Chains A and B, each alone.
Chain A
Amino acid sequence: MDIFAELEKVTRHEHEHGELPDWLAEPIYEVINNPRRYQGKDYLIEMLIDQLNEYDVYAEAGCCRWASDHEDIKRTLGKLNQ
């Protein structure tokens, strides 16, 4: 599957059935809808896919950190737009 299609699939799933909020989903859809702008940034897009797959609103809670939260996703989006 194309990396952008994979990103769309996981974003839609987390947005429509998970807890991904609108304010975080919208900039991700921007990436999905503008593949040319983000060409050559596969590393960061893969990272975003993994973070969405492991998205947990409470990732920072508890003793160990084995999930990703909105701060991680925001940071990856920031790197993608640099």
Chain B
Amino acid sequence: MTVYLDCASTTPIEPSVADIIRRFIEVDYGNAASPIHDYGTFARMAVDHARGQIAKLVKVRRDDVIFTSGATEANNLAILGLREFGLQTGRRHLICSAIEHKAVLEPLEALTQAGFEMTLIPAGSDGRIIVTELQKALRPETLLVSTMQVNNETGIVQPLAEVAEVLNNHLAYWHVDAAQGFGKELDSITHPRIDMISISGHKIYGPKGIGALILRKRDGTPPPLKQLIYGGDQEQGLRPGTLPVPLIAGLGEAARCALRQHAERLEKVTSIRSQALAALAELNPVINSSPEQSLPHYINISLPGIPAATAIEALAGTIAISSTSACTSHTMAPSYVLKAMGRPEAETTSALRFSWCHLTEDVDWETVVTILKNLRNTTGN
């Protein structure tokens, strides 16, 4: 059976999460907004509980967690939600890095259509954003800085503590897209300077269709966001609509497991990475994600001469991997992230992302290497 090694695009579900989702679909199916009977009250309690479980991971208050349909919606709310405040105050300058996910880049680009100006911060060849460039880009009228916690293609952990130092005496709101790192790397997003954090359920062994935007208050005041949709006062008016209690309870349980099982999960993924690096070393790959700087759940390598699509197809019976982000991989376009890191075309078009988790079964690395070696012989590289 093919072993799933595409956990960066989505993870398998944790069994205890699946049990809880089933409970709130089949048994406790009340509406959290109808706490006028036992069904509704218990649903409301489950939502409160999940909120608390997520808040614990980020060290915020329970009421700082706003549920959304996923990290994409959370990113959109964080960015587009500031539009009115920016227009009113004349602060129309935005900053983000060139290696952000499309779910950050596209809403920012949408704001540029409304008169905002955007500065892209480059990444170095190590895949980390260049913080001195952020320092240079900051202006008095900078409204928002958006940086990711962990890059979704390379797994490289971004220097959030350094970004925090640069932003220390600036009023700009700081949004961190933590879709890839939430629940895996625990420390960096607890920094009190971060104003907004986007998270996703299906990247941490939870369900698809749920995420959250975490809003940290400054002197008791949350970032001045305006809702993007209308129709109710759920989620403090920022995200109207009936709360999907089964998904929320599932996300809460996923967050609980991330905290409680952190050390053992880390040990398992680090061990898989060691096996992968040892096996793939035979191919002399270009390593795009240095083990010192990336999450141990990933490696991203390039095998110049073997097009990524050819390798993925050849490996399909043994392992399921991808080349770039799940949101762009269907286009088979070369990675814009690796391009931003200054990698030549031969490397951007042959990049492979292997990503695993604590639920990953044993991988037959010998067969993987043999298949790739054969491909290399066939292509003459």
**Known pairs A66-B63, A71-B41, A75-B41 / 4 extra A-B pairs, C-beta < 8 Å:** A43-B23, A46-B256, A47-B46, A72-B45
Task: Give the residue of A47, A64, A68, A76 whose beta carbon is less than 8 angstroms from that of B63.
Answer: A64
Asked if residues B63 and A75 are in contact (CB atoms below 8 Å), the reply is: no
Interface residues of A in 41-82 (CB under 8 A from B): 42-43, 46-47, 50-51, 54, 64, 66, 68, 71-72, 75-76, 79
**In the complex, what's the smallest C-beta–C-beta distance from A24 to chain B, in angstroms?**
16
Task: Give the residue of B19, B49, B62 whose beta carbon is less than 8 angstroms from that of A46.
Answer: B49
Asked if residues A75 and B42 are in contact (CB atoms below 8 Å), the reply is: yes
Q: Number of B interface residues, CB 8 Å?
A: 18
Asked if residues B52 and A50 are in contact (CB atoms below 8 Å), the reply is: yes
Residues of A close to B61: CB separation below 8 A: 66
Query: Which residues of A line the B interface, CB within 8 A?
Result: 42-43, 46-47, 50-51, 54, 64, 66, 68, 71-72, 75-76, 79
Asked if residues A75 and B45 are in contact (CB atoms below 8 Å), the reply is: yes
Most chain B CB neighbours (cut-off 10 Å) among A46, A50, A68, A72: A50
Residues of A close to B53: CB separation below 8 A: 46, 50
- Would you list 14 pairs from A and B whose C-beta atoms are within 8 A, ordered by A residue? A43-B19, A43-B20, A43-B253, A46-B256, A47-B45, A47-B46, A50-B49, A50-B52, A51-B49, A64-B63, A66-B62, A66-B63, A71-B41, A79-B42
Residues of B close to A47: CB separation below 8 A: 45-46, 49
Query: Which residues of B line the A interface, CB within 8 A?
Result: 16, 19-20, 23, 38, 41-42, 45-46, 48-49, 52-53, 61-63, 253, 256
Residues of B close to A75: CB separation below 8 A: 38, 41-42, 45
Asked if residues B45 and A76 are in contact (CB atoms below 8 Å), the reply is: yes
CA distance A50 to B53 in the complex (A): 9
Residues of A close to B38: CB separation below 8 A: 75
CA distance A64 to B62 in the complex (A): 12
**In the complex, what's the smallest C-beta–C-beta distance from B140 to chain A, in angstroms?**
35
Residues of A close to B19: CB separation below 8 A: 43
CA distance A54 to B45 in the complex (A): 12
Residues of B close to A79: CB separation below 8 A: 42
Residues of A close to B63: CB separation below 8 A: 64, 66
**In the complex, what's the smallest C-beta–C-beta distance from B263 to chain A, in angstroms?**
14
| Closest chain B residue to A76, Cβ basis | B45
Residues of B close to A51: CB separation below 8 A: 45, 49
CA distance A65 to B52 in the complex (A): 13
CA distance A43 to B20 in the complex (A): 8
**In the complex, what's the smallest C-beta–C-beta distance from B337 to chain A, in angstroms?**
38
Residues of B close to A46: CB separation below 8 A: 49, 53, 256
Task: Give the residue of B20, B52, B256 whose beta carbon is less than 8 angstroms from that of A54.
Answer: B52
Asked if residues B16 and A42 are in contact (CB atoms below 8 Å), the reply is: yes
Residues of A close to B253: CB separation below 8 A: 43
CA distance A79 to B61 in the complex (A): 26
| Closest chain B residue to A64, Cβ basis | B63
Residues of A close to B62: CB separation below 8 A: 66
Residues of A close to B46: CB separation below 8 A: 47
CA distance A46 to B48 in the complex (A): 12
CA distance A81 to B209 in the complex (A): 32
| Closest chain B residue to A53, Cβ basis | B52
CA distance A46 to B49 in the complex (A): 9
CA distance A75 to B42 in the complex (A): 8
